[in-house]
Amino acid sequence: MQRLTGIPVSPGVVVGRAVVLTGHADVVRFPIPPDRVEHELEQLDQARARSHAQLEEIRARLASGPGHDLAPLFDAQLLILDDSMFMGRARDIVRHERVNAAWAVHRAYEELCAVFATVEDPYLRERDSDLADVAGRIRMNLRRAGGWAADLLRDVDGPAVLIADELTASLAAQMDWSRVLGFATDAGGRTHHTAILARSLKVPAVVGLRDLSRRVSPGTAVVIDGTAGTVTLDPSPADIDDARRQAPARRRASTGAGPSAASVPAPTLTADGIAIRLEANLERLEDVPALLEAGAEGIGLFRSEFLLAERSPERLTEERQYEIYRELLTSVAPRRVTVRTFDLDERQLSRWAGRDRRDTRPGRRGLRLGLAHPDVLRTQLRALLRAAPLGQLRVMFPFVTSVEEMRMATAVVREVADELGRPGAVPVGAMVEVPSAALAADLLARESAFFTVGTNDLIQYTLAVDRTDERVSDLYEPLHPAVVRLLRLVRRAATRSKIDASVCGEMASDPAMIGLLIGLGFREFSMTPSAIPVARRLIQDVRAADARRTAGEVLRLATAADIEQHLFDALAAASRGSVPR
């Protein structure tokens, strides 16, 4: 047993097995049970295959274009990917050390880097950058498509505690705190934003422990005492019993209804009685139990394009789509289900539909692409409208950029509905995720039954920043004044036209931002199921009246840094039982 003392930042006592997060947010290690080793190896093989296909495609694209001289650069990465010293070593680490595949890839990468560092040949020594690229690509492909920080710990068996060298507020905001009971970090202090979030979320935490993350192995039993500021490693049975007696009962993640499809949870109420609707983002039927367990009121975003990733093109016929939508609607009935039509770009569609890739053009995505290929759009709409009587279905078009596009899309819906003898079968809405749609939201609202704001893309296109491009990803700023003002514009337009407007994307599940969104007038949010219990706890402590005042103050601030600080000041004051004036 070893007891370390740090800085207590959020009170409470928890006990659990350690999950260790070090370095970058995508390098997390945790133990896996023996019966999951083969599954983890299969995931590693699939990630390698996806990485290989991606690199081959990049090389082929370069070889046929003006950058053909650069194509051979990717030969080195393909060789690394096929080298047993790298992938073979990663497999051995998974099999013998029983750790998650992403960590095994990171370990194999570090070991090979050490070998490269001893080689005198400068050409070979420079291959470490190629190795880093390959390792990063495999880790990216190991994550569920579309998953970011919120999915990091989705495979961890609870109860667990998080041990990290550093935990940023943005990462803490997206953690599944129903799986992870508390955290301890090497760095940090009482006034850091992460500490403020921990107190707001009532997650026990200790920070400032210097080298804790290097001392702890994944799976180690740990007691975190956020009141006394101590962390106990390998505690005795008596220490564990004592900690469990001290630990207060955590509030249930659900509203008490339990994982039943028949009973829909009541809306979450703010501290002053304003009803907030919490729905889930889903991409697979297999995730429905997680939605029910989390107490989601419905599916706010079903990403139908993921059906194409899981099924071969010839299997995704109208009949097959109908069967999937029928199962989706009946499995969550009477909850509401919002299905987004295929959000594809031209390259993805050409691969799916067997079209010539040379006919692809940049900028054709989502609804714009669907209208250019009406056969694909009509097939999906027919399947959706056939399934509609089995539940409470809404259809949403992605990447809407203009009123004209929305009018053409709703015309297609009417035509298909008339063919099926089901006019007016479903409400049809627009996803607001580009500045043109946000700026014309008052006009677009006249053509839409509802709005869903896709904050991830709205931020990216407003700020001209691709968050997956590390050269500019630090400029991806959800709290940029332009983004906040666009959100207010969309909410006001929806209110004037008396249509619903929800928010999905990472902003919807970020505890530092959900109060701001409530203050801007939003009352519906859709997020990954694991984020719902955390969002519910936070919303119950928010006063909508105070949130409106905070939003008004934020709209007068000039920089994202100023806005962020103001929001965290408000959170800190609320956790002390007062609101700044």
Which sequence positions are flagged as catalytic?
193, 504
User: Angle at Cα 41 formed by Cα 38 and Cα 43, nearest 5°?
Assistant: 110
Overall size of the chain counted in residues: 581
Whether 408 and 367 have beta carbons less than 8 Å apart is answered as: no
Which region, left, alpha or beta, applies to residue 187 given φ > 0 means left and ψ of -120 to 50 means alpha? beta
Whether 475 and 502 have beta carbons less than 8 Å apart is answered as: no
Strands 160-164 and 180-185, how do they pair? Answer: parallel
Hey, is 25 helix, strand or coil?
coil
Number of CB atoms found within 10 A of residue 323's CB: 13
Number of CB atoms found within 10 A of residue 50's CB: 17
Residues 6+ apart with CB under 8 A from 569: 580
Assigned token pair, 188: 């940090």
C-alpha 80/C-alpha 127 separation (Å) is 9
Residue 235 CA, chain-centre distance (Å), reads 34
Whether 488 and 466 have beta carbons less than 8 Å apart is answered as: no
Strands 221-225 and 13-21, how do they pair? Answer: antiparallel
**Of all helices (H) and strands (E), which one includes residue 9?**
strand 7-10
Give strand pairing partners of 253.
none
C-alpha 78/C-alpha 128 separation (Å) is 14
